[in-house]
Amino acid sequence: MYFNRKNSHINVFAGSPWQAASIHNLLHASYIEASIVESRNSVSVSVPSQYYSIAVRLMSAKNFI
Per the structure, how many domains does the chain have? 1
Q: In angstroms, rounded to a whole number, what is the distance separating the alpha carbons of residues 59 and 65?
A: 6
Q: Would you say 13 and 55 are in contact if contact means Cβ atoms under 8 Å apart?
A: no
The verdict on pTM exceeding 0.85 is no
pLDDT at 51: 92
pLDDT at 31: 94
CATH number at residue 30: 3.30.70.1530
User: By three-state DSSP, how is residue 10 classified?
Assistant: strand
Q: Is there a domain that residue 1 lies in? A: no
pLDDT digits (tens, 9 = 90+) for 9-64: 899 999 999 999 999 999 999 999 999 999 888 899 999 999 999 999 998 988 87
Q: What domain range includes position 25?
A: 10-61
The bridge status of strand 9-15 relative to strand 43-48 is antiparallel
